[in-house]
Structure 1
Amino acid sequence: MMNCYCGSGKPYEVCCQPYITGSMVAPTAEALMRSRYSAYVVADINYLMNSHHPSTRPTKERKSILRWTKSVQWIKLEVKNTIAGNINDPEGWVVFIAYLSDGGKIETIHENSRFVKENGKWYYISGEHQ
C-alpha cells in the first residue's frame, strides 16, 4: 500500500480513497480538504465537483480544471492551520499550502479554504489566497 497523497502518512486506501469513491463521507473539514487535494492528484473531477458546494461549484470550468490538474505534477500538501470544522461544527476553515510543478517550475497554492456542513456532509465553499 502506498502512502496517501495528502501527507497524512496513512495508506491511500484507508485515508482519502474511501471519500473519493463515495464509500465514506469526510467527517471533518480538514478530511474533506485533504481528500480534495488527493482528488486533484488522481484527477477525479467528479469528486472535485461533488465536494464543491452547489452555490459556488465551477460547473462551467469543469473541463479546464480537469485539463489543468492533469497537466501539473502534484508534489505535496502542508496543512498549516484548521479552525473549527470538526464533526459537530457547521463550518470550518483550513489553511494549506499545496506544492506543484508546472512545466518544471515549482509553484504553490496557499489558501484559507472555507467549508460548510449541510445534511451531514462537508462541502468546499470558497478559498482566499494567502
Structure 2
Amino acid sequence: MKKTPVTTGCHCGQPLPYADCCGPYHHGALPASAEQLMRSRYSAFVLQLEPYLLQSWASDTRPASLDLSADDGVKWLGLQVLAATGGAEGDDTGTVEFVARYKVGGRAYRLHETSRFRREDGAWRYIDGDLHEG
C-alpha cells in the first residue's frame, strides 16, 4: 500500500514540500547530486516506491526485485545527513553518510550507513553502503 506524501516539509528532512523536493525525482527528474539521490531514495522508502528504488540502483548491484510490503509495520521517523563527499557536478562518484531513524512495533531503531554512488549514463545511482555499528 502506497502512503500519501506529506504537504509540509519533505520526508527527507528538507523544509520544501514533497512536491518541490523529492516528488519531481520520483516522477522522472534526475537528482543533480548523490545527496539528492540519497534523500529521494529515503523518501521512496517512506512511500514504498519500489520502482523508483530499483531504477535508482546501479545496474551491477541492483536486486532483481524489491518487496517493501513486509515493511508495512515500519514507521520512518527522520533522516539526518552527516557528511557528503564528492557526488556533485563534475564528479563521477560520491558518498553520503546518514542516519535514518524508524520504529517497528513501538521500538525505535537507527540505520547509520555510508552509501556509495556513481553516475551511470548521466544519472546518479546507488551502488551499496557500509553499515556503522552502534
Shorter-chain TM range is over 0.9
Task: Please name the residue that 2:44 is paired with.
Answer: 39
User: Structure 2: how far apart are the matches of 1:3 and 1:69?
Assistant: 23
Aligned to 2:71: 69
Letter in 1 for 2:64: T
Q: Kindly indicate whether the alpha-carbon contact (under 8 Å) linking 1:28 and 1:87 is maintained by their aligned counterparts in 2.
A: yes
Q: Assess if the C-alpha contact under 8 Å between 2:54 and 2:62 holds in 1.
A: yes
Contact 1:51 1:123 in 2 (8 A): yes
Residues 9-20 of structure 1 correspond to what in structure 2 (within 5 A)?
Answer: 9-20=15-26
Partner of 1:89: 91
1:16-68, Cα deviation, whole Å (9 max, x unpaired): 0100111x1000000000000000001000001110111111224x12xx124
Ranges in structure 1 where 5+ consecutive residues have no aligned partner? none
Residue in 2 aligned with 1:98? 100
2:55: which partner in 1?
50
* Kept after mapping to 2: 8 A contact 1:79/1:95: yes
Runs of 4+ in structure 1 deviating by more than 6 angstroms, as ranges, are: none
Aligned residue pairs: how many? 126
For the residue of structure 1 that corresponds to 2:16, the secondary structure is: coil
Unpaired runs of 5+ in structure 2?
1-6
**CA apart distance, 1:111:** 0.2
Q: Are the equivalent residues in 1 in contact too, given 2:101–2:109 (CA < 8 A)? A: yes
How far, CA to CA, are the matches of 2:73 and 2:109 in structure 1?
13
Deviations, residues 44-95 of structure 1 (Å, cap 9, x unaligned): 00001110111111224x12xx124332000000000000000210000000
Q: Which residue of 2 aligns with 1:107?
A: 109
The corresponding residue for 2:122 is 120
Percent of aligned positions that are identical: 40
CA distance in structure 2 between the aligned counterparts of 1:122 and 1:113, rounded to whole angstroms: 12
Using the alignment, how far apart are the partners of 2:121 and 2:57 within structure 1?
14
* TM-score, length basis structure 1: 0.93
Question: Which residue number in structure 1 is paired with residue 34 of structure 2?
Answer: 29
Q: Please, what TM-score do these two structures have when normalized by structure 2?
A: 0.90
Match of 2:13, SS state, is: coil
